[in-house]
Structure 1
Amino acid sequence: MTDQELHDLVVKISDDYFKKPFRHKAFFNPRLRTTGGRYMLRSHNIEINKKYFEQLGEDELIGIIKHELCHYHLHIEGKGYKHRDKDFRDLLKRVGAPRFCSTLPEERKRKSRQRIIFYQCTSCKLIYRRKRSINTIKYVCGKCRGKLAKVKDMTVE
């Protein structure tokens, strides 16, 4: 699918589901990594992550477009366009748009193999479990202010 085909699809979905025109640009952004799409407040353009179309298909792409069009139309009308706003949640339900996009298969693999690091206080023996390593010189035990020592580093599936 090209950027022009994506733009035409966004215009069609806007007309069919929202009964309003889409007057800005819609295109694929290869730099998007953690989200399916993005509505730009200043330019009113919509950017879509092409990986979601390639890995999850056209139905997922249509859901992402509907979600971003909810942001677009509500922002243009001056209504609540943010995820927590009632206007936004109501419009999502009305057009059948998902609140969040699905997780990519490659992200599921990465999330299933998580690194866990255990630290233990040398004074009170309290164990801390962390996903990221911490500077044991800078940080101390929250309970007794004792020194922390790295106990174990493991990968969990």
Structure 2
Amino acid sequence: MTDEQLQQWVEQISLQYFKRPFLHKATFNARLKATGGRYFTKTHHIEISPHQLETFGKDETEKIIKHELCHYHLHLLGLGYKHRDAAFKQLLQHVGGARYCQTLPDREQRKPEPYRYKLQCEACQLVYMRKRKVDPKKYVCGKCRGKLRLYEIT
């Protein structure tokens, strides 16, 4: 599907479900991997992930478009257009949009980093595990206010 076809599809969904025209630009953005789409409040443009269309089909992508159009129309009407707003939740449910998009199967799940550093108190031997390197001179032990020493875990 091209950007022009997407534009026509978004305009048609807007008229059919919202009874209002979509007067701005809708495009695909292949960099969107963790999100299905975006609405820009300054330009009022909408971007949709082509990966969602390829992976989950037109039905799921239509729900994402409805979600972004909820942001669009509510924002232009001066109503609550954010995810937490009651007006947004109500309109989204009314038009049948997706609250969240599905996770792409090829998207790697973030694994928690193992601890790479250990801070140990020289006085009471209490150990603090850290994923990132910190300067032990800037901190003291929370238990006894003793001096800390940094060790790298290999």
Q: TM-score range by the shorter chain?
A: 0.7 to 0.9
Matched, 1:147 2:145: no
Check conservation: 2:119, 2:136, Cα contact below 8 A.
no
Deviation at 1:129, TM superposition (A): 5.4
Residue equivalent to 1:16: 16
1:121 is aligned with what amino acid? L
**CA displacement 1:38-87 (0-9 Å, x = unmatched):** 11112211111111212222222111101100000001111011111111
Alignment partner of 2:47: what SS? strand
Residue equivalent to 1:155: none
Residue equivalent to 2:98: 98
Check conservation: 2:36, 2:64, Cα contact below 8 A.
yes
Residue equivalent to 2:76: 76
Residue equivalent to 1:125: 126
2:129 is aligned with what amino acid? Y
Structure 2 gaps of 5+ residues are none
| Separation in 1, partners of 2:18, 2:9 | 13
Residue equivalent to 1:7: 7
**Which segment is superposed worse, 114-123 or 59-68?**
114-123
| Separation in 1, partners of 2:141, 2:63 | 45
**Which segment is superposed worse, 5-14 or 142-151?**
142-151
C-alpha change, 1:114 and 1:122, in structure 2 (3 Å) is: closer
Deviation at 1:142, TM superposition (A): 6.0
Residue equivalent to 1:110: 109
Check conservation: 2:6, 2:26, Cα contact below 8 A.
yes
Structure 1 gaps of 5+ residues are 153-157
RMSD: 2.3
Paired residue total: 148
Please give the TM-score of this superposition, normalised by the length of structure 1.
0.80
Alignment partner of 1:105: what SS? coil
Residue equivalent to 2:50: 50
1:147 is aligned with what amino acid? R
Check conservation: 2:117, 2:133, Cα contact below 8 A.
no
C-alpha change, 1:26 and 1:47, in structure 2 (3 Å) is: same
Deviation at 1:150, TM superposition (A): 3.1
Alignment partner of 2:153: what SS? strand
Percent identity, please.
44
2:21 is aligned with what amino acid? P
Alignment partner of 1:27: what SS? strand
